[in-house]
Structure 1
Amino acid sequence: MCESRPLNSQSMVATLTSTPPSFLPLWRRKLPTFNPTHVQCLGTGKEALEISSNGYIKTNTTGFPEKGISTRPGTSSTPRPPRPRRIILVRHGESEGNVDETVYTRVPDPKIDLTEKGKAEAEECGWRIREMIEKDGANDWKVYFYVSPYKRTLETLRHLGLAFERSRISGMREEPRIREQDFGREKMRLDKALRLLYGRFFYRFPNGESAADVYDRITGFRETLKADIDIGRFQPPGEQSPNVNLIIVSHGLALRVFLMRWYKWTVQQFEGLNNMGNGNLIVMQKGYGGRYSLSMHHNEEELREFGLTDEMLIDQEWQKTARIGELNYDCPMVNSFFPHFEDEGCIT
């Protein structure tokens, strides 16, 4: 039987120093020196990545929208690609569920069709969008679509798309995160009545979602969208056109939540919004400083009808001239959060 003996300090040092390198803990191993200038792109193996003096990659790959954009903001001499001129939010045309809510007890929500009226609404919406874009007077304009995977939104896209020839469509993407709110069980009418008592944002349908749940997934979509805008994802290869228009075909609540998230509206402000009509649209248009404002396209009467308050309208006017990344230090919504500022009214 082997006898185990405690190790003294000298024997411990001897044991550690004699341990093979591959068995040493990571913090004690001598790692090989990494030379980043020898890194090559996987695939062709022909071009080495160029490393700047501060250690960030300079991308020179052709055929990708990320061309010439540094992986760190502010480290590239190449200017950012122009932002799309508009983000156009479109609610699907009239569906069978809009006409008869009992349809939801017989047909799964994602499979509900448009009515004939809804198809006509979608096509008319497409021509309205085209007319709006053509008024810009630009010859190189294009549209890019995001669409919810539900049948009624896909049908809306197909009929809306009749207004555009192939050369005008730079692409489309089916996006599950902008799908309809999940209403859960079939007792929708009763549950919607309870939602009015509880609050439209926080009420969660049994076995379904609340608007707060939709907010979380819309937040993820918004971050993806902003990243795609920043890298010029919607620009055709070799082009830097400011005349790209994004069109998001989705559902009433999802689009209102999208606006809430984009403009940082409060829960109370969200609950004061009215639903968009079927086949209708809301336009976020790029302002003079690069930010998107509803006031660039819509007049005050239209925005009030949608549910915007005085504070929200003032903020939209600020969005028209503010620069990207600029903070609204005179934000009129501040006063509504602090009672001791109420007498000062809105800051303009």
Structure 2
Amino acid sequence: MQQQNCKRRLQPVLPKRIILMRHGESEGNLDHAAYTTTPDNKIPLTQEGLAQARLAGAELHRVVSDTTGADSPNWRIYFYVSPYERTRSTLCQIGRSFSRTRIIGVREECRIREQDFGNFQEQDRMKATKETREQFGRFFYRFPEGESAADVYDRVSSFLESLWRDIDMNRLRHDPCHDLNLIIISHGLASRVFLMKWFKWTVEQFELLINLGNCEFRVMQLGKGGEYSLAIHHTEEELQEWGLSPEMIADQKWRARANRVDWTERCPWYLDSFFDQLAESEEDNGDSDDIWHETDEKIPQTN
């Protein structure tokens, strides 16, 4: 019996929630001139940002404890945090709302850092550069000496692969008897890119998204069928405000109740985003055998 219990504990258990949060208000959010004298990674939070983070901690506690529902009282949290000063400070203030027994781990993760805009950022030059980005396209435009959103996508994709390995190999020291909540404290663009990668959104769909506000968060919650969805915790109105199209919202609602293995078969909007028109069946598109015969007749024969 003890051996069976050990085997059961070693089996990977999916987190109940994956929560993406942007840092609190920073000096750079308040005054862009801060970037001209202070490296981006060392920009601190404002007093307002510290207060936002403390309030966000209380709200996160309410979400993960979910005392109004029938969830297990034995919930736990694991933090991933960007190495920047403003994200680390946000995490520190959030920690005031949790006891040591609830936090099973914290990991600093460089791959979820802010988009690199270059080193010290001269204001007039950055203003002109961002105007050029609007003309070129926000996803593919690469800042001189910096990154594009596509570059951020690549490193966030690498982080996601590591995250899944951590879950599969039980590296998070997760007791299956507990509800695990992963909280990722990062930046606006990195969070949007994370969602894009996770939900397989296209570049066009990504560019519809509205950036998270300071200390705003998005809750991806595990549905009964094993898929994560934004529509379990958040309302349709919220999803609309964040820039999700009707097709994207329908997909989130479907994921809330869908089985993971059914995604490709039950998600037609994804195909429709790539093709102008697809026939529903071979019969609707004509007899495929006749098409091949007609093509064969047109090929010149050679000896």
TM-score (norm 2): 0.84
Q: CA deviation at 1:229?
A: 1.7
**Separation in 2, partners of 1:322, 1:79:** 26
For residues 330 and 138 of structure 1, do their structure 2 counterparts lie closer, same or farther at Cα, with a shift above 3 Å needed? closer
Give the conservation status (yes or no) of the 8 Å contact 2:116–2:146.
Answer: yes
Structure 1 position 334 matched with structure 2 position 271: yes
| Equivalence map 1:211-226=2 (5 Å) | 211-226=149-164
Question: Which protein has the larger Cα radius of gyration, Structure 1 or Structure 2?
Answer: 1
Larger RCO of the pair (alpha carbons < 8 Å, separation 6+): 2
Letter of the aligned partner of 2:167 in structure 1? I
| Structure 2 match to 1:305 | 241
- What does residue 274 of structure 1 align with? 210
The Cα shift of 1:324 comes to 3.2
**C-alpha distance in 1 between matches for 2:264 and 2:88:** 38
Amino acid at match of 2:13: P
Question: How far apart in 2 are the matches of 1:125 and 1:299?
Answer: 19
The match for 1:117 is: 48
Give me the CA root mean square deviation.
Answer: 2.1
Which residue identity does 1:226 align to in structure 2? Answer: W
Identity of aligned residues (%): 51
Q: Does 1:94 align with 2:25?
A: yes
Looking at structure 2, the residues matched to 129 and 180 of structure 1 have their Cα atoms a distance apart, in angstroms, of 22
Deviation (angstroms), 1:257: 0.3
1:279-312, Cα deviation, whole Å (9 max, x unpaired): 1100000001111110111110001111111111
Spell out, residue by residue over 1:65-116, the C-alpha distance to the aligned partner (whole angstroms, 9 max, x if none).
xx74xxxxxxxx8883321110010100000000111111110000000000
Q: Distance in 2 between matches of 1:121 and 1:78?
A: 38
> What is the alpha-carbon distance in structure 2 between the residues aligned to residue 324 and residue 341 of structure 1?
24
Q: 5+ residue gaps in structure 1?
A: 1-59, 69-76, 344-348
For the Cα contact (< 8 Å) 1:142–1:168, is it kept in 2? Answer: yes
Q: Which moved more, 1:130-139 or 1:216-225?
A: 130-139
- Alpha-carbon distance in 1 for matches of 2:54, 2:279: 47
> Please, which runs of 5 or more residues in structure 2 have no aligned partner?
281-303
Structure-2 residue corresponding to 1:83: 14
The number of residues matched between the two structures is 269
* 2:167 alignment counterpart: 229
How far apart are the structure 2 equivalents of 1:223 and 1:142?
Answer: 22
Judged with a 3 Å threshold, the aligned counterparts in structure 2 of structure 1 residues 280 and 149 are, in CA distance, closer, same or farther, namely same
State the distance in 2 between where 1:184 and 1:86 align: 34
- Where does structure 1 differ by over 4 angstroms across 4 or more consecutive aligned residues? none
- Counterpart in 2 of 1:145? 79
Alpha-carbon shift at residue 323 of structure 1 (Å): 2.5
The question of whether the paired residues in 1 share the 8 Å contact of 2:111 and 2:159 is answered with: yes
2:107 to 173, 178, 188: 173
Q: Using the alignment, how far apart are the partners of 2:251 and 2:27 within structure 1?
A: 37
For 1:339, what is the secondary structure of its paired residue?
A: coil
Query: More deviation in 227-236 or 177-186?
Result: 227-236
Partner of 1:130: 61
Q: CA deviation at 1:340?
A: 2.1
Please list, as runs of the form range in 1=range in 2, the aligned pairs for 1:1-348 lying within 5 A after superposition. 68=7, 80-135=11-66, 136=69, 137-184=71-118, 186=121, 187-236=125-174, 239-331=175-267, 332-341=269-278
Please give the secondary structure, in 2, of the residue aligned with 1:330.
coil
Q: Which residue identity lines up with residue 335 of structure 1 in the other structure?
A: D
Q: Which moved more, 1:226-235 or 1:160-169?
A: 226-235
